[in-house]
Amino acid sequence: MFTPFELKSVTFPNRIVMPPMCMYSATEAGEATDWHLVHYGTRAVGKVGFIILEATAVEKRGRLSGQDLGIWDDSHIPGLRKVVELCRAHGSVVGIQIAHAGRKAWGEELVAPSALAFPGFAVPHALSKGEIAQVVESWRQAARRAREAGFDVLQIHAAHGYLIHEFLSPLSNQRRDEYGGAFQNRLRFLLEVVEAVQSEWPEDKPLSVRLSAVDYLEGGLTIADTVEISKALKAQGVDLMDISSGGILSARIELGPGYQVPFAEAVKKGAEMPTIAVGLITTPELVQEIISNGRADFVALGRELLRNPYWVLQAKADPELWPKQYQRALPQN
Ligand SMILES: Cc1cc2nc3c(=O)[nH]c(=O)nc-3n(C[C@H](O)[C@H](O)[C@H](O)COP(=O)(O)O)c2cc1C
């Protein structure tokens, strides 16, 4: 897990990832705050190799909460740039997850492929083809802003029951036009977003997509679908898959350490792509097992890094790794 990894022009110093986690701490206008500097900066001091900023909204109506980070306006760029520069100064590779919550958004204006509500939410407006084109344009502009803010990696949020996942899953997409029905049609919106984003995102920087590998429901997405989606993304130039699961509708999930690792493994082997595994992974032993057996290329620790920002330092008491300011706390000193 301490072996560097290269992807395009980016060298990741180790395989530990902080996955995107909403902090609900942006201003009402969607700007980053001191919280983001302290929170992300601390994990960079803690030598997390790759930090992915939380779901950041490509449209105001696409926020998951009223305190989400935004990237729908140029005024968001300076605040994000400060976070990038701070984390990079401490050696982390910095990515951002750009997102649209679709029918699970916060606020009045819910949009989705079909007028099917997520339980507890209002019925969303089914996007017309013209409106779909406008949303795709929002993703393009968000990618431009992410480039201008200086991020190393861009991640498209296509998981957890949000807008792109809503197009992918037959459980939320009942369209009869070219965006619904057959697999290739349900995939169309994601591929259009990828293409739009690529027109603004530098070719030499990695592009990642986060997918929910399975819906855990009859008639929903399966791991076989996810391998096919990943192959299509690879053909279109996507570099790195981040494999989560669930979120389209509530479902029974058997949780346990590394429960989603088999999905990342299936994508890595089936689509022959670099992958991030995530989900209830907390120990250096499990991280090491996943990496050394080639089950995934990166391992993301979500809640564990909320509990312990210095997980990486504790996994390796090495003066070369530790910040000079903390050397006196090394166990051997
Ligand atoms: C507070 C919190 C916020 C989260 N926000 C996001 C998010 O913005 N985008 C996303 O894709 N996943 C989000 N997740 C899911 C995490 O990225 C991760 O996949 C999940 O927590 C499982 O990993 P863990 O068991 O290591 O925590 C969030 C999780 C937590 C705990």
Residue ranges and CATH numbers for the domains of the chain are 5-329 (3.20.20.70)
Torsion of CA 72, 99, 97, 221, to 10 degrees: -160
pLDDT at 20: 99
Report the chain's mean pLDDT, rounded to a whole number.
98
Which amino acid belongs to residue 14? N
Token pair listed for 101:
């919550």
Q: Per-residue confidence at 333, pLDDT binned at 50, 70, 90? A: confident
**Mean pLDDT calculated for residue range 121-129:** 98
This prediction's pTM:
0.98
63 lines ligand 1 (CB under 6 A): no
* Structure confidence by residue, pLDDT tens digits, 153-211: 999 999 999 999 999 999 999 999 999 999 999 999 999 999 999 999 999 999 999 99
First to last CA, the chain: 24
Measured between alpha carbons, how far is residue 289 from residues 42, 296, 315 in Å?
Answer: 26, 10, 14
* Structure confidence by residue, pLDDT tens digits, 12-33: 999 999 999 999 999 999 999 9
**Mean pLDDT calculated for residue range 275-295:** 98
* CA 89 to centroid of ligand 1, rounded, Å: 25
22 lines ligand 1 (CB under 6 A): yes
Residue in 270, 255, 256, 290 with CA at minimum distance from that of residue 211: 270
Best residue among 16, 21, 240 to mutate for probing ligand 1's pocket (most ligand atoms within 8 Å of CB) is: 21
**Mean pLDDT calculated for residue range 257-273:** 98
